Amino acid sequence: MQQNGSSGSNGSEGCGGRERQPLSSFSPIPAATTRVRRFIQERRTLPLPKVMVVFSAAGEADKPSDAMSSSDPAAEEDARKPASPSPSKPLRSSLNSQEQEVISLNVGGTYFTTRLSTLRRYEDTMLAAMFSGRHCIPRDAEGRYFIDRDGTYFTDVLNFLREGELPQRDRVRAVHREAQYYAIGPLMDSLEDIQPLTGEKVRQAFLDLLPYYRDNLERIVEIAKLRAMQKKARFAKLKICVYKEEMPITPYERPLFNSLRFERSDSEAKLFEHHCEVDVSFGPWEAVADVYDLLHCIVSDLAERGIAAEQQCIGVCDKHLINHYYCKRPIYEFKITAKLVNNCRGFFIF
């Protein structure tokens, strides 16, 4: 019996090198009680820092979890950035962020609909400044942006801002005034390169050589008004001298000089100074435009004020100056007719 017991013990040592627990050490304790005891024993034996490591995840509380680790790195970077204050959202945010926003306009009682990008096509314009978000624009009862301006030609303005389309010739002058009001430089430049503004541009350059032109035009109207009132008539006649050359010489004497201007001393110049016996005098000037061009300017400018003017040459000034020199400046008779103000009473006014 002893040999069996010894051989059994030797066999166990040979197989595993461990002693088998005696059967007397086994106690029939429930499995739940055994797990509780093991938990209590482990808690007592484990140090406190290791417990903190288990629950604090290595001390990095702000590190994303495994579920968040697969997210976009850019999103994580944005999440770590401090939140910036959001801008105010009235007109500024909507106008700056949505260039394709549809805008409803009320221009002097005429309604228009266009895109914000159309109104802001050119930066240095009045419309771009109005709808930049920096200004408060009044609205009508329907919520449309209100512009206190006649809207008759605003369609032409929008067509140019949309597609660069220019108006018809009979609307060029009026649209040019609108372009000046809204400070749309590209539209003004485009209109000035076509008729009739091309001729107006050349015409104005010519009239700039005559700084007294506007004053003389007013003088013509005042003199005609006084004479018409004195004679109780609706028209008056004036003598107007229009000459281009400064030299008071006849056509037969021109070949004697190298140019139309004759160099004279101050003492000699006084001998040639004189005033023709006329109501108003225009000249001299240095330009390609001749006397007939200036006559056309006078007649057309009076017509724009509603005053009809007819002119015809009635001769030249034959005043003797010195030696064989005579004035020879052409003199024109202008018939100025007043405009009709009230048809019923037949009242005319200049």
What is the Cβ-side half-sphere exposure of residue 296, based on CA atoms within 13 angstroms?
A: 10
Decide if 223 contacts 229 (C-beta within 8 A).
Answer: no
Element (H, E) at 186: helix 185-192
Identify whether residues 219 and 145 lie together within a single domain. no
Q: Is 119 exposed, middle or buried (0-12, 13-18, 19+ CB in 10 A)?
A: buried
pTM metric for this prediction: 0.51
Split into its structural domains, the chain has a count of 2
Sign of CA dihedral 15, 16, 20, 26: negative
pLDDT in tens, 201-240: 888 888 888 889 999 999 999 999 999 999 888 889 999 9
Identify whether residues 153 and 132 lie together within a single domain. yes
For residue 317, the model assigns a pLDDT of: 86
Is residue 153, in this structure, part of any structural domain at all? Answer: yes
pLDDT in tens, 232-276: 888 899 999 998 875 545 544 444 444 444 555 566 556 556 678
- SS3 for 265? coil
Is residue 219, in this structure, part of any structural domain at all? Answer: yes
Domain edge (last residue) among 165, 194, 223: 194
Say what angle helices 185-192 and 154-163 make with each other, to 10 degrees.
Answer: 100
Characterize the bridge pairing of strands 235-242 and 280-282.
Answer: parallel
Is residue 74, in this structure, part of any structural domain at all? Answer: no
For residue 141, the model assigns a pLDDT of: 94
For residue 68, the model assigns a pLDDT of: 44
Identify whether residues 170 and 237 lie together within a single domain. no
Is residue 57, in this structure, part of any structural domain at all? Answer: no
Identify whether residues 109 and 211 lie together within a single domain. no
Identify whether residues 330 and 217 lie together within a single domain. yes
Number of Cβ within 10 Å of residue 306's Cβ equals 13
Range of the domain at 134: 99-194
Identify whether residues 112 and 167 lie together within a single domain. yes
Is residue 220, in this structure, part of any structural domain at all? Answer: yes
For residue 77, the model assigns a pLDDT of: 58
Identify whether residues 135 and 230 lie together within a single domain. no
Decide if 160 contacts 187 (C-beta within 8 A).
Answer: yes
Identify whether residues 183 and 219 lie together within a single domain. no
pLDDT in tens, 21-79: 444 444 455 555 665 566 566 655 444 444 444 444 444 444 444 444 444 555 555 55
Is residue 239, in this structure, part of any structural domain at all? Answer: yes
Identify whether residues 294 and 331 lie together within a single domain. yes
Is residue 334, in this structure, part of any structural domain at all? Answer: yes
Domain edge (last residue) among 170, 194, 218: 194
Identify whether residues 234 and 308 lie together within a single domain. yes
Decide if 172 contacts 197 (C-beta within 8 A).
Answer: yes
Is residue 5, in this structure, part of any structural domain at all? Answer: no
* Partner residues linked to 240 by β-bridges: 280, 332
Identify whether residues 124 and 225 lie together within a single domain. no
What is the average pLDDT score of the chain?
A: 74
**CATH number of the structural domain spanning residue 125:** 3.30.710.10
- Does 174 have pLDDT greater than 70? yes
pLDDT in tens, 124-160: 999 999 998 888 999 999 999 999 999 999 999 999 9
Domain edge (last residue) among 194, 218, 234: 194
Identify whether residues 332 and 212 lie together within a single domain. yes
